[in-house]
Chains A and B, each alone.
Chain A
Amino acid sequence: MKALAYLLLIQVKNKILMLKKKPAFLVLYGIIIVFVLFSIVTMIIFGKDMPQTKFADERIVFLILAGLGLLFLFTFVSTGLSTGSSLFTMPDVGLLFVSPISSKKILFYGLISTLGKALIGSVFIFYQIGNLKTNFGYGLKEIFGLFAIFTVMILFCQLLSIGIYIFSNGNRARKRVIKGLLYALIGVLLLTALYLQRQEHIGIMEAVLRMTDASWFGYVPVTGWATMLFIGVVHNSMFKMIISLTLFLMIGIIIISLLTAGKADYYEDVLLSTEFTFQTKLAAKEGRNIPRQTATKIKVKDNDLGIGKGSGAMAFMYKHILELKRNSRFIFADGYTVFLMVGVGIAGYNFKTSEVSYYIVLAVVIYLQFFLTTMGKLKIELMRPFIYLIPENSLKKVFAASVTSLLKPCVDGICMFAVFGVFSGASIPTCIFFAFAYAASGAVFVGITILYQRVLGGQPNMIIQLSIGMGLLLAIMAPSVGVSIVAAILLPEALSFLSVLPYTVFCLFFAVLLFVTCGNLIDKAEYSGKA
């Protein structure tokens, strides 16, 4: 046990010491810690003095929690049905599994290590302190409650995934049953919401809110348990807290017993998922395709052979298009494009009367785009030596390797706002200019990823992007957003579609500026084979 405790502690220590080699990250993490502490202290000192205003409907928080719980449940059950989750890493497999240490102790080590990761993963809750306080009147009790619930959910779902894998591995009938139960659960929830809507003559949103607030919902696995636990915390209901914690604990203990009872040997059960997780992480680091457990072999067709066009730096662009073509027949349009089309279609249909809501839709999709924009193909190129070796100007290579990342938001914008126009009744020029604004935002976000790479030598994690990146971006973009808002107010109705033009022009200018200033990336970067 001493060896396992040593291993845990030394890994934590080394991870912290490693930050010394990345001073920019050290500063950013420092800022995050100060920000979180500042938020907590401010809340403690000034929280009580804040005037009591009318707060928003707290069922919205219950709904978000339920939604995330359902997402966790779906994701981890699906993983359990394919590869299973793992509490371990490849070095654990290579060094610990073969060591003369009890497998139960090793399992305990895996649980503690996963709990640590879950705690770190739940830190983002603290970024919502201001939001939760202002909008819902929540204090430290509720915020720490949410933090603990997220940690419990992540840990539990990991265990659930392993349990499902052990139960269903190699048994198609069991897999079918579990899959059926999962889809049935989702179906029942959807039907219940629709039933409530019809029965009570209320909107779909109100129906969903009522459903997640209902007492029966608290008994729905994971999503309901988490919601019930939070409702218990908010309303000081010991009964609800005990019931939900008991459910989490009971199923958790059953799964652990399954892993350790009798002659059960979980090493083999977690081996595949550990190897798969390792391969996935390695592939992600190296920018390769994520290996699929049931990978469909890509067949290269004769008429699809060859890059065909481009010379010099532009060879990168045509190569990327060929690679995209191999991944998806629609090249730039993918699942996310469909998701956007469906999302804005529904939004357009529901808010067709209000022109202000058009701008809200645009703002929301741009907000999502900020978090989902990656360096794309350029990142992959930086992890291979070719881009450094090819005798071309650095800016040309950076631009050519980023073209596909710039084209993706153009395609998404066109598809999305075409659907939006159909369902909302927005004018064609409005849809076109919205698509331009979306594409221009994409160019800025791609530029920002290049800026990160140039300054930090890598891409910051989501927490940093959420706190620092978003804040900086808002500060820089604020004037153009302001001008666009003023334009929207002042322009006659017939020309209102032009209101987003200042924002679009500024985005394009800023994107060009980012590319030009960071275009020497290849000359200044060092090839390490990883990003």
Chain B
Amino acid sequence: MLLVRNVTKRYGKFVANDNVSFEIRPGEISVLVGPNGAGKSTIIKSIAGLLKFDGSITINGNENKSIQAKRDLGYVPEMPALYDMLTVWEHLEFIARAYSLSNWKEKAESLLQRFELDDKKKKLGSELSKGMQQKVSICCCILTGPKVILFDEPMVGLDPHAIKELKNLIVEKRQEGAAILISTHMLDSVNEFWDSTNIMMNGKIAARRTRKEIEGSGEDLEALFFKITEGDKVVQ
């Protein structure tokens, strides 16, 4: 369970997140959408404990910077940041060791196979394309078995096979009871599985809807997005 309460993040005078509140329950996929500069990545980084902020964020009841919260959290950054001198396999080994995981090798093998990285285990981080780095980043995140997962633009740079696998993986994690937050501009890519959405504008949550609410009104995610973000200039 992810609880974000009254989070404000300032960079000097600029308010990147203004009193943001929302929650994601176990087994829920929530998508965070909004125009460029709306504050999506900032709130995701704040949840991941990478930024300082005012307000409160808890992960399964623990303050987000606590060790227990970190144990339950998985984060796939927008820009994959791998180590140049570690191979693909060593990235997974490093994560397993740092999180003190046991019996991780089988899971690691299966993740690499799923994302077609099994033949690239000995490739160094510096030798990988952006898309491959993104796949390794996803594998590192999932390996720890997180209960709250943050994806920041996870599909950018991925090939069609990896996008399909990632979608399947996200749905599986929901079935396992994880609370999942996905920030994306690619509305089509999440259309088939999202449960709730938070639309951000100018650092604030401009609207929150559940899938049921939208389907009841005959709208879809894209129409809602334009209605909220463009107001009167709504596209049909």
Residues on A facing B (Cβ under 8 Å): 21, 286, 288-289, 298, 300, 305-307, 310-313, 315-316, 318-319, 322-323, 326-327, 380, 383-386, 388-393, 523-524, 526-527, 529
Contacts and interface: CB of A to CB of B under 8 A. Distances in A.
A322 B77 CA distance: 25
Given A319-B94, A389-B50, 4 more contacts: A288-B126, A311-B100, A390-B98, A526-B51
B151 interface: no
Contacts of B51: 526-527
B125 to A, nearest CB: 9
Nearest to B46: A526
Contact of B83 (A21, A305, A319, A523): A319
B93 A289 contact: no
Contacts, number: 93
A324 to B, nearest CB: 8
Contacts of B214: none
B77 A385 contact: yes
A306 B67 CA distance: 26
Given A307-B93, A390-B70, A315 B85 contact: no
Given A288-B84, A384-B81, A385-B75, A307 B94 contact: yes
A288 B77 CA distance: 18
B49 interface: yes
Contact of B49 (A286, A310, A386, A389): A389
Nearest to B122: A300
A21 B11 CA distance: 9
A310 B84 CA distance: 20
A289 B86 CA distance: 12
A121 to B, nearest CB: 29
A391 B87 contact: no
16 contacts: A288-B84, A289-B126, A298-B124, A307-B94, A311-B100, A315-B94, A315-B97, A322-B90, A323-B86, A385-B48, A389-B50, A389-B70, A392-B67, A393-B67, A526-B51, A529-B81
Interface string B84-111: 1111011001110111100000000000
How big is the B interface, by class? 35 or more
Given A322-B90, A323-B86, A384-B83, A305 B98 contact: no
Contacts of A322: 85-86, 90
A408 B83 CA distance: 21
Contacts of B90: 305-307, 319, 322
Given A298-B124, A390-B99, A526 B86 contact: no
Interface in B197-233: none
Contact of B98 (A21, A312, A384): A312
A372 to B, nearest CB: 21
A326 B84 CA distance: 10
Contacts of B81: 286, 383-386, 529
6 tightest A-B contacts by CB? Answer: A527-B50, A391-B70, A315-B97, A323-B85, A315-B98, A391-B71
B156 to A, nearest CB: 16
Given A322-B86, A527-B45, A311 B97 contact: yes
Interface in B91-149: 93-95, 97-100, 122, 124, 126
Nearest to A385: B77
Given A300-B122, A307-B90, A526-B51, A323 B77 contact: no
Nearest to A316: B98
Contacts of A311: 97-98, 100
Interface in B25-68: 45, 48-52, 65, 67-68
Contacts of B73: 389
A386 B98 contact: yes
Contacts of B52: 524, 526
A527 B68 CA distance: 20
Contacts of A319: 83, 86, 90, 94
Nearest to A301: B122
Contacts of A523: 65
A310 B67 CA distance: 18
A236 B49 CA distance: 64
B79 interface: yes
Contacts of A383: 81
A4 B48 CA distance: 43
A306 B87 CA distance: 8
B160 interface: no
A286 B77 CA distance: 15
A312 B12 CA distance: 35
Contacts of A310: 97
B49 A300 contact: no
Contacts of B67: 391-393
Contacts of A21: 12
A388 B64 CA distance: 11
A305 B89 contact: yes
Contacts of B48: 385, 388-389
Given A384-B81, A529-B81, A389 B94 contact: no
B100 A312 contact: yes
Contacts of B99: 390-391
Given A322-B86, A389-B75, A306 B93 contact: yes
A306 B89 contact: yes
B48 to A, nearest CB: 7
Contact of A323 (B75, B83, B89, B93): B83
- Most chain A CB within 10 A, of B67, B94, B100, is at B94
Nearest to A392: B67
A204 B93 CA distance: 55
A312 B84 CA distance: 21
B50 A388 contact: yes
A47 B79 CA distance: 57
Nearest to A400: B98
B49 A313 contact: no
Contacts of B50: 385, 388-389, 526-527
A289 B65 CA distance: 30
B83 to A, nearest CB: 7
Contacts of A305: 87, 89-90, 122
B14 to A, nearest CB: 11
A206 B58 CA distance: 71
A306 B51 CA distance: 32
A345 B99 CA distance: 46
Contact of A300 (B68, B70, B79, B87): B87
A306 B86 CA distance: 9
Contacts of B97: 307, 310-312, 315, 318
Contacts of B86: 319, 322-323
Contacts of A393: 67
- Most chain B CB within 10 A, of A288, A316, A326, A389, is at A389
